[in-house]
Amino acid sequence: MMQQPIPAHGGELVNRMAPADDLAGLTQEASSLPRIDINSRVHSDLDLLGVGAFSPLTGFMNQADYASVVADMRLANGLAWSLPITLSTNREQAATLTAGARVALVRDGEPVAILEVEETFPYDKQREAELVYGTKEEAHPGVAALYAQDEILVAGAVTVLRRKPSEFDEFNLAPAQTRAIINEKGWRTVVGFQTRNPVHRAHEYIQKCALELVDGLLLHPLVGDTKSDDIPADVRMRCYQVLLENYYPLDRTVLGVLPAAMRYAGPREAIFHSLVRKNYGCTHFIVGRDHAGVGNYYGTYDAQKIFEHFAPGELGITPMMFEHTFWCNTCEGMASTKTCPHPADQRIALSGTKVRQMLTDGEMPPIEFSRPEVAQVLIDAYRSQDSVATQSR
């Protein structure tokens, strides 16, 4: 066996899944414990805590870690970490929780984990919003989710009884499974690519530029909770599959999924996404323009500049920075602002609104923007959506 190419963040891949031999007993125990009901977003965090995607975290953050992460993007021990991973509850329930108590975390009436309470503490939502998301505006989807939380945070290690159900079981590989595949393929360097959108020609271009420099590509779309107007995950997955089948070397690519909720935290989420992909075995991570952005809350390249906050090598994964890319008619190929000298009217750059309108009309976007196989998947999905909407009227 070859040595793994990169250690997990913090040095060791965490496993907080209940051992198979203990599962029946823990499930029975959970049925009689006090309960905290959790929503889909927290359930996603819990799932990723269980399989070690959030290594070195073993549970929901205590006050020292929370305060340090919000203020300085580091855990209390100084290790880089950019987003708070927390569990909230109301004041009445928090008053009943004492250190050492065991609590069942429940989703849709079923216990999915047991938490051993370390402490409970109040927190300032507006301060977290300003420092983590860069805004206090509730129009920001991440801030809205934060404001919807309860008033007290509950810290403690978790034991996860079962993974969150996924419609993408074939691709929902845990970090240990992904690392095993990387090991089997003999890859020493692996670049991860985060997306919540179908891959268009600009994405393909930067992925293949990166693939020229490393052994393999982990195409790792986020399939947890996203905004209501984002393209559904099942449609996106069909796009990725047809793209990889037709345009990528299959021996140098792996398609997996990250079942995380999207926070739209821009620069901070770029750091978070890179550290999570490090836990999946990536040595490099692609950071493009406006990574994890939403609206006009972040500057175009803020998600790249934030990496300067950390010393070279400190994160343990190498960011690969790319400029805005496009098709240039004069260059007759894909290019970026670094490589193309031609004016904007020679560049194919369609707005999301324009593309959606073309798809709704059954019109194929130009091949310079999207591969036809991908566009066809999207057209079929839009037609199906329109058909369902028409029938429901």
Give the three-state DSSP class for 65. Answer: helix
Q: Please confirm, yes or no, whether 196 is among the known catalytic residues.
A: yes
Q: Please confirm, yes or no, whether 268 is among the known catalytic residues.
A: no
Q: Which residue has the tokens 């006050």?
A: 63
User: Of the listed 196, 268, 289, 347, which one is catalytic?
Assistant: 196
Amino acid making up residue 172: N
CA distance 329 to 347: 6
Burial of 116 (0-12, 13-18, 19+ CB in 10 A): middle
Element (H, E) at 335: strand 333-336
Instruction: Tally the C-alpha atoms within 13 A of residue 172's C-alpha that lie toward its C-beta.
Output: 17
DSSP type of residue 366: P
Nearest CA to 9 among 274, 311, 287? 274
Q: Which residue has the tokens 């996924």?
A: 166
CA distance 239 to 233: 10
Tokens of 142: 């991440």
User: Of the listed 15, 39, 183, 197, which one is catalytic?
Assistant: 197
DSSP string, 71-128: HHSB-TTS-B--S----EE-HHHHTT--TT-EEEEEETTEEEEEEEEEEEEE--HHHH
Nearest CA to 268 among 298, 248, 229? 298
Query: Omega before 84 cis (within 30°)?
Result: no
Alpha helices in the chain (DSSP H): 23-30, 40-51, 63-72, 91-94, 125-128, 141-147, 175-185, 201-211, 233-247, 267-279, 302-305, 352-360, 372-391
Tokens of 381: 């999905």
- Annotated catalytic sites, by residue? 196-197
